A = this chain, B = another copy of it.
Amino acid sequence: MADQTINVLERAGTVMTVSELILKKRNGYPLTCSDIEHLIAGYVKGTIPDYQMSALAMAIYFRGMNEEETAHLTRAMVNSGDTISLMDIPGIKTDKHSTGGVGDTTTLIVVPLVAAAGVPVAKLSGRGLGHTGGTLDKLESIPGFCAELTLNEFKTAVKKIGAAVTGQTIEMVPADKMLYALRDVTATVDSMPLIASSIMSKKLAAGADVIVLDVKVGDGAFIKDHSSAFELARIMVETGKKGGRQTAAVITNMDQPLGRAVGNALEVEEAVLTLRGEGPPDLEELCLTLGGWMLSLAGKASEHEEGKAILKKLLDNGSALLKFRELIQNQSGDPLVVEDLSLMPRAEKQVPVKSKAEGFVSSLKAEVIGQAAMKLGAGREKKDLRIDPVVGVTVEKKIGTMVKPGDILAHIHTSPEKEPARNTGIEDHERINDVQNMILSAYEFQNEPFEVPPLIIGCIK
Contacts and interface: CB of A to CB of B under 8 A. Distances in A.
A31 to B, nearest CB: 13
Contacts of A4: 187, 189-190
A185 B223 CA distance: 33
Interface size bracket, A side: 35 or more
A3 B224 contact: yes
Nearest to A185: B19
Contacts of A187: 4, 19-20, 22-23, 26, 55, 59
Contacts of A184: 19
B59 A1 contact: no
Contacts of A62: 58, 62
Nearest to A227: B1
Interface in A1-21: 1-4, 18-20
A459 interface: no
Contacts of A57: 55
Contact of A1 (B50, B182, B190): B190
A186 B224 contact: no
Interface string A37-71: 00000000000011111110111011000000000
Nearest to A59: B58
Given A55-B55, A57-B55, A223 B1 contact: yes
28 contacts: A1-B190, A1-B192, A1-B222, A1-B228, A2-B224, A3-B190, A4-B189, A19-B186, A19-B187, A22-B186, A22-B187, A23-B187, A26-B58, A26-B61, A26-B187, A49-B50, A51-B54, A51-B185, A51-B186, A52-B54, A52-B185, A54-B58, A55-B57, A55-B58, A55-B186, A58-B58, A58-B62, A59-B187
A132 interface: no
A225 interface: yes
Contact of A225 (B2, B19, B190): B2
A188 interface: yes
B186 A52 contact: yes
Contacts of A192: 1
A57 B26 CA distance: 12
Q: Which 9 pairs show the lowest CB-CB distances between chains A and B? A: A58-B58, A55-B186, A23-B187, A50-B51, A22-B187, A54-B55, A51-B54, A1-B190, A51-B51
Nearest to A25: B187
Contacts of A50: 49-51
A367 to B, nearest CB: 9
Interface in A183-205: 184-190, 192
Nearest to A63: B62
Contacts of A23: 187
Nearest to A191: B1
